Structure 1
């Protein structure tokens, strides 16, 4: 027998009461691509908006093998031990066939997953640019409304995911491995520019190598102009497996919050993020509408092969597709 879908009132009340099952149902609703579900999700978010915004939003990225999951589990446990409620939004690679999340984070963070003051939500990337799930921003808001005062967003660490996540958090933490050396040459300048702090993880494996790496990263940061005039990104060492250095690391996150709040930059950053979110949503909805348009589908079928074969310039094909969607007069204007 099918389980009855909770009403808007049920979801509203359940989330405000901190009911994790209702929170999970609401996130599933937000992630749905069905038009009716979209309308209900937006109505729910509009109700809950006054109770959002109070959490410390922390983005975490790092190279493969840096130990993000172990680090996040240890940090999450440290924070719940200090009285915080922690939500972890971890964007999993999508199944190539079903598009669903592999749900690996439930097993990679098994201890944190059973903590009553923690909530872990793996979300399918579903082909979205940078691997950031389409509804991650709305999921973040739902978690805040449910009373989670720390929301951690883990990136998949590929492509543009770092920029996507940096545009939805207050503090962007980049995890690095010990033994920077030659690795430093291959680090993208962009990732250093996004970082509010660099943490050299796995320092328990080789403390001296970790300290050398930290010095190298500090030197690299000195070359760059900090994004904020009020904050110079620190470089710390830590060990996710043992928990060493996590307390000092979190003290830096809290110091950043105090500095940015006092200067007014935290509020300005969030206002700009909301503006960015708006236009990314507009772009996404327009693209979806374009792909559903009957005339566009016919035009794409006609021009796509010619572009792929090199017989039609992409810009010209774009003009034809937009003309089918908007009408030639609108394109010419």
Structure 2
């Protein structure tokens, strides 16, 4: 009986969504790999609500969450071709496509989340958004992806010396591998789904991620030491297919841009709440959180990484502008 009621409710909700979308003159298909209810998904849904409200129902957004339209690499290409109208994507997959996106992905480029917000809300952020236009995309807004820190099963890490020889899982990214190596540890690229068992069996000592991922993955159960070094604070980006955007009137283009900008505070509020919930949960589980550390040696160790990846005058200027932002 419960199943029947639930199925009926789901079908009614589905019909309501289709009906609402069909009532609009234009419905933008938007992709997200995160699940329903995730802050980025909710933020794009809020953007859609604002669009519908501000255009008297002419423009709507339908969000396909949980990678329904594919993983990020595939959806980027589909958005460039105009098959998908909008896309919320991590900046990492753009690093090999748009060189300007490499800078916010650098370790320790941001001093704090507040610093990242000031940078990405300002001229530097706009410069990076503008760079998408040469790649059949329109950059609309930046969302938060949280700050990533190290966690492990062996010992508290309070200094860079404590990292020596330890094995950490990283995403399959050359920059991440070089970052861990520069800190004196050993980087082990592997799929996210293998991390729990690999820590549990000692294949690796730990990994690195943000509070919500550390919590939802259950990694805190096998890696009880979490060091708040915040080596990466990488934003995420909301983009639109240039072909879709160019098909809008100048007035509607500005409405779309403004609705995207207005969705950012909503996303940040939801993200902050999710981070706080996850932090409280893992602390209650007995995780030892190391927050009193000197980040200076960590930052100074990144010299070779910056030398390798910040190679053009454009990137060097962006780095300088970020560092100069108070």
Between Structure 1 and Structure 2, which shows a larger proportion of strand residues? 2
Same fold? TM cut 0.5: no
What is the TM-score of this pair, normalised by structure 1?
A: 0.27
Higher relative contact order (CA 8 A, sep 6+): 2
Larger Rg, first or second structure (1 or 2): 1
What is the TM-score of this pair, normalised by structure 2?
A: 0.28
